[in-house]
Every structure is written in structure tokens, then in C-alpha cells.
Structure 1
Amino acid sequence: MLIAQSLPLPLNYRPADMLSFHGRDSQSVSERILGNILQKGMLWHGKPALLSISLQTGLARIDLQIDDTQPCPEDAPALTALARRMLGLTQNIEQFEAAHGTHPVVGTMIRQQSGLRVPVCASPFEALSWAITGQQISLAAALSLRRKLIRQAGIRHSSGLYCYPDAYHLSGMDSDTFRLAGISQGKATALLSISHAVLEQRLPLDDWLHAPAELFPDISAALRNIKGIGPWTVNYTLLRGYGWLDGSLHGDAAVRRAIRTLMQSDPRLQAYELTEKSAESWLQPFSPWRALLAAHLWQWQAP
């Protein structure tokens, strides 16, 4: 079954940001980049599917090819909502740029990167499980674990791309399967914990997609109650899973490195000792866009 949609894009939309985020795995196990097109293996109502997003000037074309299923009336609007979220079109970046584009320390960076939006994962569960997998290791190591985990799950679309596993499939994995994927016991326990919580509706990740912004602090608290999930994992999940732009990513090493570099360029800040706590304080005045600023810092420091 094929579902096709199109969405208008702002004239300053930056396709490379989304394509580079989803194309991080050079082995293209579950995502591949073909010019300006992202193809991603995913599960749609439990069925293997291939999501294709073609980014053109002023327009995104979205196709979803689902194996072995019939269409239902809810599929088209659900696909539109998914694409808008993944493309960052729900993010109010214009207000952020207007508020801080003339800031004495970060204003030049923001103006140079005008139009930057945060690419979002296909589902909150993917964002949360990816954040757990990537805790306290390098990006290269995290991508390797993710690739192995996807292969161990073994869900494949007819196109050949593997599909990122959902809570149902992860919950069925045993310790040997996680070990073959290189996942530590602590991370395996956390992944199983969130999978069972989702299936038992104790962790309504998809329902939170419809939550107003003022509820995200409560959602953050609910996530932090899960063993093995700390502040960085929570705020990264809310950013990559929901596009929430106010999580404080002061615990992110790359964010702190970028802040330290900015401080060195400002004589007023050169003597400022940068700890996690002081990085949190430095980011606080940029609320409600602290996570968006972190994304700008990531991009600014990217090789």
C-alpha cells in the first residue's frame, strides 16, 4: 500500500540538517540518503514500512509504502503529522531568532545558522531507546550499537531496509540477543523496562505527542522516574522525540565544549569555570529555547 503526501517548506528550510541527522549510519542499515531523499525503514501499525521524504525547494514529498496491509482513513493525516514533526515544521524557530539574533555572545552564530530546525525521530520510542543506547559513549560507538540492535531485531521491509524495532519487538528480546548487539546489561534492562512500560500503557509516549507544551515538565518528571534514565536522556528524548525546544542539555559534552569556546571569545567570561551546573545556569536565560540553542551549538561545532 502506498500513501503519498506533500508539504510546503519555508524558503529558508535547510534540507542538509535533516538528511545528515538521518544519514549518520554510513552502512545505511535502516536509513539511506539518495541525493535529497531520505528513505527510512520503520514500523507502521506494526507492519514494515518504507518512509520516503524528498526535499525540494519549498516542498517536501512524502511517500509511505507499507507491506501487507490495507489503508485506513487515519493513515493520511497521521503521515502528515509525522512528516511535519520529523521535518521540524512544528518548531517556532522564528520567535527564537527574533529574541536572540542580536545577543552579544550567540547572536552571530544564530544569524549565520538562520533557519536551523531540529530533526526529530520517527517516534518517541525510537528517540528514547536511541538516547538510552547512546548514553555516555561516543556517537560512533552509539551508531554501532544501534545498527547491531536493529539487525538483531531482524524486522525488514520488502525494499531491503531494516525497520527500527518498536516496544513490542524489543520486549521480546532476551539477554543473549542484547549481548550479541553489544548492549550492556544496564542499558538492556532500561530498554526492556521502557518497552514493557509502553506495552502496559504506563508510559504513554505516543499520547504525549498531543500534549501542550506546559505539560512537558510533568512528562520530564515521569521519564526520570524510570531507572536508568537521567536528565540528559530525558531532555534529549523530548527534543528528538517531540521537538520540545526547552530541555536543558547542559549534561551534553559537545554543548559544554561549544559554550567553553564561546566564553574564550568573550573577555568577560574567560575566567568563568564551566561545570555542568554552571552550563545549566548559562543556558537558563535562553528558556524556552534552551534545546534549540543546544542544536545551534552542535551545528556550530560540527566539523
Structure 2
Amino acid sequence: MQQRSITLPDGYRSSDVVAFHGRDTEGVAEQVTPERIRKGIVLDGIPVALDIALSTSEARIRIDADAALTPRANALLDDALLNILGLRIDPAPFLAAAANDPLLGDAVRANAGLRIVQSATIFEALTWAVIGQQINLSFAIALRRTFILQAGRQHGSGLWCYPEADDVARLSVEDLTTRKFSRSKAETLLRLAQLVDSGSLSLERSDDIEAASAALLAVKGIGPWTVNYALLRGYGYPDCSLHGDVAIRAALQRLLGEEAKPDMARTEALLAQYKPHRTMAAAHLWATLASQTRK
């Protein structure tokens, strides 16, 4: 078992991290308390249980792998920890740019320490985005749980691990449709997993976001909203435009004091003023909908 410690930045809000990873109160791959996150992931084919103890200044991590970690697994682990702890995007530049903004300034100042928390891996973020397409959040969370139990692997401790692409590629469409997945959703998930598993689609982190976006959009069943969500929650890209997101439009409607949500074109134009920090703008807009369950 390995142990690590990560120093957290001043003003770090562990409650945001806990809330994101604790969305599923019946979680099979996550066990979350106010000060601790247990998370199961598969890294280069190896089931790994992470036990992350959080304070305001430090994250203490125990890494329990079912086999010796390969160099690639260790690199993936480094990446996953940045994602899980919300340390990939520095919120300070957006705070400086938007603190006095007439539309978002009040919200930004009220949530100055807000960070973007991510899924552990790009594949997890992308599959979660596909699972959540066009259904309500509670049903999406239940489908995700089913997906983990069908395709994931169980760590020696009993914790389930979110699957890698090759785990999902072994499933059939019927495996998913008999568990309440629509056929189109099941086909998209399997198509995606098979492309990644075969090497036809790379999900390696890249600075060429345009190329990554184009490759994802070429996959049947994946549209612009899914790509932008994956860029935000997976790649940690700082300038995602979530103009297709209903909650973003609802937040803008509230801030604008209007009777109807702005349409997608107007929402895109409103978000454009926050370039190159549109990801943080989206996070602060979501935060204004305090009564809404986190995405």
C-alpha cells in the first residue's frame, strides 16, 4: 500500500469535492463522508481503492492496489488525483477577471473558492455524460450504478471500481437494455468503449482540444453537449461553453431577471464574454442554483 500527501491551496473547499463525489447516496464505487472519499478505479487494468482524507490544508491518500502499479498506472493515478481533488484548473484568473462583472460578479464573490471537480478519468467523464443524456439526474445516477456493477471490477476490499474501456467493450447491447438503458444509449456506450479499446479513439490528455473535440464528435451518438461536458469534467479544459445545458440557461434566466430562459444562441453569446474562462463561469452559474442537485 502506498501513501501520499498533497498540500491543498489556501481557501480550499473540501465540501465541494465531497458533494460532487457523493452524488450517489448508494454509491458502489464511491463511499463518501464529510472528511473522506473512498473511490474505486481501474488503472491500466489494475483495480485500485483510493482512501482520501481531507482537511482544509492537506489531502492524505492511501492507495491500495490489487497488484503492483505499472509506470502507466502510476501516471494515470497522478492524473486522477488532480481530477478528483479539483486541482486542475486554478480559479484565481477567473476570479480576478469576473469579480466586478455586472452579471456574475456577485455570484463569483460569494463563491470565491469554487473549483471544478472532475471525474477520475476522461473515460469516466465521457461515459457519465452519455449515460446522463436526456434523462433526469436521479435516473442517470441509478443507471451509472448499474453500469459500474455490470462492467466494473471489484477491488479486494469489496469496493467496486469504475470500469476502463476494455471492461465495457465486453458487454453486449442486451446487457444494458435489459437494465433500463435505451438501445441508442447502450449502442453509444459500447461503440465508444470499443473505439477506445481498439486504439481507434485516443482519450489521452492533449493540449489540442480542437482535435480531441472533432474525434469525439465523429462518434455516432456523441454531440456537442456531451463533448463539452467531457472536456470540462474529464480533460479539465478551462474554456468550455456549456450553452446547451438547461441548468446554465436557467441560472442565466434568474440572474437576468427574465421570464424565459435565453435560447442557446443567446446563451452562447452571453458566455462568450467570459473567454478564456467559460468553464469557471459555468461552475459559478451552476452554483447559483443552490437548490438543484449537482451535475
Q: If the TM-score is normalised by the length of the shorter chain, which range does it land in?
A: over 0.9
2:288 matched residue in structure 1: 300
Q: How far, CA to CA, are the matches of 1:132 and 1:148 in structure 2?
A: 14
C-alpha distance in structure 1 between counterparts of 2:152 and 2:121, whole Å: 19
Amino acid of the structure 1 residue aligned with 2:64: Q
Question: Following superposition of structure 1 onto structure 2, how do residues 22-61 of structure 1 map, counting pairs within 5 Å?
Answer: 22-61=21-60
**Would the aligned equivalents of 2:252 and 2:261 in 1 still touch at CA under 8 Å?**
no
**Identity %, equivalent residues:** 40
The letter of the residue matching 1:61 is R
Quote how far apart the aligned CAs of 1:3 are.
1.9
Tell me what 2:96 maps to.
Answer: 98
With 255-264 and 171-180 compared, the bigger mean Cα shift is at: 171-180
Q: Distance in 2 between matches of 1:105 and 1:193?
A: 41
**What displacement does 1:181 show?**
2.6
Equivalent-residue separation in structure 1 for 2:15 and 2:147 (angstroms)? 26
- Map 1:120-159; keep pairs closer than 5 Å: 120-153=118-151, 155-159=153-157
Aligned mates of 1:139, 1:278 — CA distance in 2:
25
Distance of aligned partners of 1:6 and 1:75 in 2 relative to their CA distance in 1, 3 Å threshold: farther
Q: Which runs of 5+ in 1 are unaligned?
A: 265-269
8 Å Cα contact 2:130/2:188 also seen in 1: yes
Residue 284 of structure 1 corresponds to which residue in structure 2? 272
CA offsets per residue over residues 7-43 of structure 1, 9 Å max, x none? 1111211111111111100112110113311101111
- Runs of 4 or more, structure 1, over 6 Å off, are none
Q: Aligned residues, how many?
A: 291
2:243 corresponding residue in structure 1: 250
Q: Is the CA contact 1:62–1:83 (under 8 Å) kept in the aligned structure 2? A: no
Q: How far is 1:92 from its partner?
A: 2.4
Q: Is the 8 A contact 1:97 1:114 kept in 2?
A: yes
Seen in structure 2, the aligned counterparts of structure 1 residues 50 and 260 have a Cα distance that, compared at 3 Å, is: same
Q: Mean Cα displacement is larger for which, 159-168 or 95-104?
A: 159-168
Paired amino acid for 1:301: L
- Seen in structure 2, the aligned counterparts of structure 1 residues 152 and 75 have a Cα distance that, compared at 3 Å, is closer
Q: CA offset at residue 72 of structure 1? A: 4.4
1:78–1:199 CA distance, 2 compared to 1 (3 A): closer
Q: CA deviation at 1:292?
A: 1.5
| Counterpart residue number, 2:228 | 235
Q: How far did residue 302 of structure 1 move?
A: 2.2
Q: Does the CA-based 8 Å contact 1:40-1:51 persist in structure 2?
A: yes
